[in-house]
Amino acid sequence: MNTEKFIDTDTLLRLQQSISRFGVVNVITAAFITGALALLLDYVYMLYLRSKMPPGPIPWPIVGNTFLLPDSKPWIYFEKLAKDYNTPLITFWIGRNPTVWICDAWAASELLDKRAGIYSSRPRMIVFGELGSGQSNLVTMYTRTAEERDRFRVHRKLMHQGVGVQQVRRYRKFQNDESKIVAYDLLSSPEDYVMHFERYATSVVSIIGFGRRVSTWRDPIITEVIALMHLAADLNVPGKRFPMLMETFPVLAKFPNKIAPWKHGLGRRGRRRGGSHDFFYSLADEANKTPGHEDAYAKMLFREAPKYNLQPQEISGLAGNLFGAGSDTSSSTLITAVLAMRAFSETLLPAWEELDRVVGTQRSPTFDDEPNLPYVKAFVKEVFRWRSVAIIGGQPHSPTEDDYYNGWLIPKNTWIQGNVWAIHRNERDFPDPDRFNPYRFIKGSADGRPFPGERGYMTFGWGRRVCSGQALAEQGTFITVARLLWGFRFDPALDENGNEIPVDIFNYTNGLNMRPQLFKVKISPRNEEIRRTIELEGKQALEDLAVYEGETQYRLSTFYKA
């Protein structure tokens, strides 16, 4: 008898379902085991790399050390880690990616200056690279291949033609005049010193770039563009919040913009409706089409565009970098200078003595006075050292090949950041580092210490990625700080009860380009003769700068709505 005839249909169905369920369970189990094994192997590799790289906290799988990041000012945390591990370099894992933080001047000089040939590239960056200006901007360009290095050299050359060491000497006349107007404006509204500095710095780069000055701090080009620079600085701080969390988990950048509010790409804000180009390109194009001022940087870019096959987004990047390199950073440095003058009033006495002897009261300082003002020059250097604006040295570097330092491995494509905060506060190089002390930079002074590089500070970065606007910033900061020291007192402001309002030398913003939070100070002319000189020079400077008067039709706040 055939027993199969007696197996009913329900039994067969149940048997098939059991086999099917068993298969699904097997698939799920196999996938889980495979995933767990892959995670384990990945973590083992992370720990292996950690054993070869500079010391630092033990990372967790996938998230690394990201959870340890403070909510603000991570450079202070990294300085502490370097001290705890007693090492010039530390490794901190942002997700699965190790970041090497250099907290020592000599290590920074050895790696980023002396080995610039392999440390001048950028790592993969999501926020400021793939979602930002990418390979069309000098700041974020890779230099990993011959083609990339050639393009980098083109952009670097074009920036040097605008703000290189030799070029900026041509700008001294109007830079000095704009500085005179700062002093003139401080006579009538000293409480608005921040806005006066912002106007000055923005006007200088606007004359260089577009042939027109910024005559009032109410000009939208100041308020809107500097706000954009502040946003960029805030977004660029390593952290565990969006958008920088995308650097930890790059997959988040692949979400469509409509369902991904954390995507804050800055460089590619898009084009205006109707297909015209972006804001900085349009400013440059407008300047190029405006008669006169043939030496404006924008006109040079358009003249050179066919030779170098410059694309519109590249012109935009080069023009926009002028603001990035010269407006927010320069004004922030001047605000720091005033904070130092207010908090360390004893440092003003030697400056006043030197300026009274060399300059007198019938004129203000000029660039020709610089060789005879060693203390003022040292004062300016200490401003750059004491509270550097680009506190983590700008965008990260990345080696194009595996490298070693003190026996530690620095793998190819690793993020390398210079912690300028830690470098400039190292007790070995700068004893009592939070004290503002210009004598650190007086040759032969007992307060001086050896330091790599002739300048004695690392404010502007390193190697081939050093800030393009360094010469312009140093030149402008010298003449403006010298004029402030020559012309004014910086006394404590008083509250309604007549009590001095204190200032906090640590109360700075959290952005990549940090500046002091607003503080109150009483700024007044040193004497009546100096006041009269400031008035005379200010009025003359306004007449001399009239040739640069003009107005742009563009407003950043409405540009992309047009």
Backbone conformation region of residue 456, classed left if phi is above 0, alpha if psi is from -120 to 50, else beta:
left
CB atoms within 10 A of CB 217: 19
Using an 8 Å Cβ cutoff, are 125 and 94 in contact?
no
- Tell me the sheet residues that pair with 94: 64, 97
Instruction: Give yes or no for a contact between 176 and 367, defined as CB atoms under 8 angstroms apart.
Output: yes
Q: What are phi and psi of 525, to 5 degrees?
A: -60, 145
Are the C-beta atoms of residues 416 and 398 closer than 8 Å to each other? yes
**Residue 295 one-letter amino acid:** D
Peptide bond preceding 220: is omega within 30 degrees of 0, i.e. cis? Answer: no
SS (H, E, C) 173-224: HHHHHHHHHHHHHHHHCHHHHHHHHHHHHHHHHHHHHHCCCCCCCCCHHHHH
DSSP state of 61: T
Q: Does residue 378 sit in helix, strand or coil? A: helix
Residue 465, token pair as written in the block: 């990625």
User: Distance between the two ends of the chain, CA-based, in angstroms?
Assistant: 89
CB 440 within 8 A of CB 430: yes
**Cα–Cα distance between 204 and 197 in angstroms, integer?**
11
- In this structure, the number of other CB atoms found within 10 A of the CB of residue 391 comes to 27
Q: Is 467 annotated in some ligand binding site?
A: yes
What is the enclosing helix (H) or strand (E) of 98? strand 97-102
Q: Are 405 and 89 in contact (CB under 8 A)?
A: yes
Rounded to the nearest 5 percent, the helix, strand and coil shares of the chain are 55, 10, 35
Q: Tell me how many degrees the CA angle 293-296-297 measures, rounded to the nearest 5.
A: 170
**How many distinct helices (H) and strands (E) make up the chain?**
20, 7
**Closest to 195 (Cα-Cα) out of 223, 168, 225:** 223
Residues 6+ apart with CB under 8 A from 216: 199
214 closest CA partner among 197, 239, 236, 230: 197
Residues of each annotated binding site? 467
Residue stretches of the annotated binding site for heme: 467
